[in-house]
């Protein structure tokens, strides 16, 4: 009975949903939370979608800077479509963040790159809400980094991971009857990141132009501690010996 209700055991009495929430990496956890919360606030009519989308004029002429963030957090009202988007968001965001190491510096830098790129490109395609293309970017990067993973779509179509973005594009085209510009934007931005972080470095002596700069890593990791190498230990021993006074000769 305790297992059915999530009590006891090694999870310290947490419910399954609570365990699932706290096991998510920090960036994915708060992005998922903010997405659900934003839809809830709109559902309660505390905010209007017209207050949340990105508009150059609203942001830079009317100083409504919150739109730079809320455009990535609102996926629509509570519905099966929202559930579908949240599932893809947390699943592939979590997989990418977990593969980027314990520090959130690299994954948060990826999010910043993708968000900045989408904001710069959004006026070209008249796309006010950018959460879907951001999640599409993460799906594309994950799919390229896991070429041997086999997936099943709706239990009908089995394919390897690199085909996932194209399957989603085809499904969106059939469902909505329009070219999925958001998916295409996500693929383009994701491919630039994938190329410069996975393809480019082995061909150019390990150079990684899209890695986070040192000042960004220090925001999350602090200053790096000096490594205790053999030379460093020998130097410390030499300094300690030099500080010991020589014995007096009588």
- pLDDT(233) > 50: no
User: Which of 42, 67, 70 has its CA nearest to residue 57?
Assistant: 67
Digit-coded pLDDT (tens) for 176-228 = 788 888 889 999 999 999 999 999 999 988 888 999 999 999 988 776 555 44
pLDDT in tens, 61-70: 999 999 999 9
CB 196 within 8 A of CB 146: no
Q: Supply the angle between the helices 105-125 and 214-221 in degrees, to the nearest 10.
A: 120
- Number of Cβ within 10 Å of residue 21's Cβ equals 14
Answer whether residue 169 shows pLDDT above 50: yes
Alpha-helix residue ranges (DSSP H) falling in the chain? 2-5, 16-23, 26-43, 56-60, 67-70, 80-99, 105-125, 131-145, 164-176, 181-194, 200-203, 214-221, 230-243
Higher-confidence residue of 17 and 234: namely 17
pTM of the model: 0.80
């Amino acid at each position: 009975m305790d297992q059915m209700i999530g009590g006891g055991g090694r999870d310290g009495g947490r419910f399954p949903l609570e365990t699932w929430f706290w096991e998510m990496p920090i960036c994915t956890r708060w992005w998922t939370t903010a997405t659900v919360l934003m839809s809830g606030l709109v559902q309660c009519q505390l905010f209007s979608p017209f207050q949340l989308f990105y508009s150059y004029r609203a942001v830079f002429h009317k100083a409504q800077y919150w739109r730079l963030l809320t455009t990535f957090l609102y996926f629509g009202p509570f519905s099966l479509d929202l559930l579908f988007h949240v599932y893809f968001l947390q699943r592939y965001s979590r997989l990418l963040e977990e593969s980027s190491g314990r520090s959130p510096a690299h994954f948060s830098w990826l999010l910043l790159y993708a968000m900045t790129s989408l904001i710069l490109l959004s006026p070209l395609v008249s796309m006010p809400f950018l959460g879907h293309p951001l999640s599409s970017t993460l799906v594309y990067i994950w799919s390229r980094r896991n070429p041997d993973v086999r997936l099943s779509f709706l239990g009908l179509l089995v394919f390897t991971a690199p085909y996932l973005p194209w399957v989603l594009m085809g499904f969106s085209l059939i469902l909505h009857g329009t070219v999925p510009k958001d998916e295409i934007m996500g693929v383009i931005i994701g491919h630039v990141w994938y190329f410069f972080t996975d393809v480019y470095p082995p061909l150019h002596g390990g150079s990684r132009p899209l890695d986070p700069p040192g000042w960004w890593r220090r925001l999350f990791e602090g200053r790096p501690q000096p490594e205790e190498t053999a030379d460093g230990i020998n130097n410390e021993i030499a300094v300690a010996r030099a500080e010991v006074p020589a014995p007096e000769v009588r």
